[in-house]
Structure 1
Amino acid sequence: MSSVSFISEKTLNKLQDLMQLTVLSSATKVPFVNLYKTPTTLGADRIALVVGGVDEFPEKNTLIIDAGTCITFDFVNSKSEYLGGAISPGIKMRFDSLNHFTANLPLLQKDEVNSFIGRNTKESMNSGVVNGVVQEIDGVINQYKKKYMDLTVVLTGGDTKFLSKQLKSSIFAKKNFLLQGLNRILIFNIDK
């Protein structure tokens, strides 16, 4: 699921004629208050993740980190108010950019880092990307912990398994958290 993919209104209307269809957007009823300054720009994937957080960790300050193409950080407080978050490039995107925007750096795949000091170009690139992502995530978690007591942290997305082994912070690793949130949205809207 990508928040940057669109379906034409004509196709959507045809589908709605054929079946009961719930379209996830900023107008969809959800079990949290959206305090994002630009709610119509909040991606459907991020909405679903926040719903998963509110559903699984009610009345908790929850930071949901989705480590996929991009790394998104979404925060919902103990009052079920979505305050916002952050977006940065994911692991693959970082490797792709090193290759694409330089003349001589190869395209690499992620690999566990044995030493933070790279002894050749490939080790240095891997260390830079992987350690950079790990330090970024741990750093963001620590920022939230300073401001919000009893923080619950959920790590999800395609790089969950890879990153969960390397993070210092205490987290819940849930690879399919987005699907859980989507299911909760369907149930929430059927009940209304």
Structure 2
Amino acid sequence: MLLAIDVGNTRIKSAVFENNIILEQSVFLKNELEKKIKNILKNFPKVTNLVVASVGNLEKDVFLKLDKNLKVDFITHENQFPFKNRYATPKTLGIDRMVLASGATLQFKNQNRLVIDAGTCITYDFINDNDEYLGGAISPGLRLRYEALHNFTAKLPLLALENPENFIGNSTAESIHSGVVNGVLNEIDGFIAEYKQIYPKFTIILTGGDAVFLAKRLKNTIFANSNFLLESLNHLFQYKINND
């Protein structure tokens, strides 16, 4: 069994895999990591490997001391990936984006793919049908936009994510919700339209914490899977075993 861990900017996600099947998954804060992981290992004693993708600040020692019999694999830029990295600055490409690109390459073979990860930031990653990673874009996610409006203005309130009742906001709160939510939706649809000008046919994968909220509101047909990064970690781990 494999325990996959995604250390994000705000939260940690984990999933226990047996082959390609998720047996259990969790979401927790960084200060809960040791307790949560030990509990998972207690419930699933057959877990022998741990694979970690991290964009957060956690040290490797936190994982290495969990269980001396556990084989820990940290995804780094030195790993072997199933795509050719055409990024101009490959060492600055986020590990999370590389894992997502790997998952898209391994699961959606012989086609163009656009992975959209809607989390703290919204990242766009494009892999062509020759398995070449070309790059993409990074923009603020929904939560960051709400926080920016509050933190960088004198009087605008900090609001929680909410679907706007009207496109034309008739109050400050409704105007904020309309601006944030419709702004993100139009951005994503706009990016997709731009890609279609160059690549008429490609698969769109939407993932991240806000994937479910956004999927039903977007105009384009997409493959929405909020667990795609964890699943990609599992596929990348198997890819490594098969190519060692």
SS in 2 for 1:31: coil
Within the candidate set 230, 240, 244, 1:179 is matched to 230
| 1:38-77 → structure 2 map (5 Å cutoff) | 38-77=89-128
| 1:59-98 → structure 2 map (5 Å cutoff) | 59-98=110-149
SS in 2 for 1:85: strand
Mapped to 2, the partners of 1:10 and 1:175 lie a distance apart of: 28
* Total equivalences in the alignment: 192
Mapped to 2, the partners of 1:136 and 1:56 lie a distance apart of: 26
- Report the alpha carbon displacement of residue 113 of structure 1 after superposing the two structures with TM: 2.2
- Report the alpha carbon displacement of residue 116 of structure 1 after superposing the two structures with TM: 1.1
Judged with a 3 Å threshold, the aligned counterparts in structure 2 of structure 1 residues 16 and 144 are, in CA distance, closer, same or farther, namely: farther
Structure 1 runs (4+) deviating above 4 angstroms are 7-18
**Are residues 1:166 and 2:224 paired?**
no
Mapped to 1, the partners of 2:66 and 2:78 lie a distance apart of: 19
Structure 1 partner of 2:200: 149
**Unaligned ranges ≥5, structure 1:** none
Judged with a 3 Å threshold, the aligned counterparts in structure 2 of structure 1 residues 98 and 164 are, in CA distance, closer, same or farther, namely: same
- Does the 8 A contact of 1:15 with 1:21 survive in 2? no
- Does the 8 A contact of 2:55 with 2:96 survive in 1? no
- Does the 8 A contact of 1:25 with 1:40 survive in 2? no
Identity score, percent: 48
- Does the 8 A contact of 1:61 with 1:77 survive in 2? yes
Judged with a 3 Å threshold, the aligned counterparts in structure 2 of structure 1 residues 100 and 79 are, in CA distance, closer, same or farther, namely: same
- Does the 8 A contact of 2:82 with 2:105 survive in 1? yes
Within the candidate set 113, 120, 123, 2:171 is matched to 120
Show CA shifts across 1:86-136 (max 9, x none).
110000010011111111101111111232100000000000000000000
Within the candidate set 151, 158, 163, 1:107 is matched to 158
Structure 1 partner of 2:189: 138
Within the candidate set 85, 94, 100, 1:34 is matched to 85
Mapped to 2, the partners of 1:147 and 1:139 lie a distance apart of: 13
Where is the helix percentage greater, Structure 1 or Structure 2? 1
TM-score (norm 2): 0.74
Mapped to 1, the partners of 2:160 and 2:60 lie a distance apart of: 38
SS in 2 for 1:21: strand
- Report the alpha carbon displacement of residue 6 of structure 1 after superposing the two structures with TM: 3.8
- Does the 8 A contact of 1:68 with 1:157 survive in 2? yes
**Unaligned ranges ≥5, structure 2:** 1-6, 9-53
Where is the strand percentage greater, Structure 1 or Structure 2? 2
Q: Which amino acid aligns with 1:81?
A: E
- Report the alpha carbon displacement of residue 18 of structure 1 after superposing the two structures with TM: 5.3
- Report the alpha carbon displacement of residue 67 of structure 1 after superposing the two structures with TM: 0.4
Mapped to 1, the partners of 2:65 and 2:160 lie a distance apart of: 41
- Does the 8 A contact of 1:71 with 1:90 survive in 2? yes
Mapped to 2, the partners of 1:42 and 1:19 lie a distance apart of: 28
- Does the 8 A contact of 1:61 with 1:149 survive in 2? no
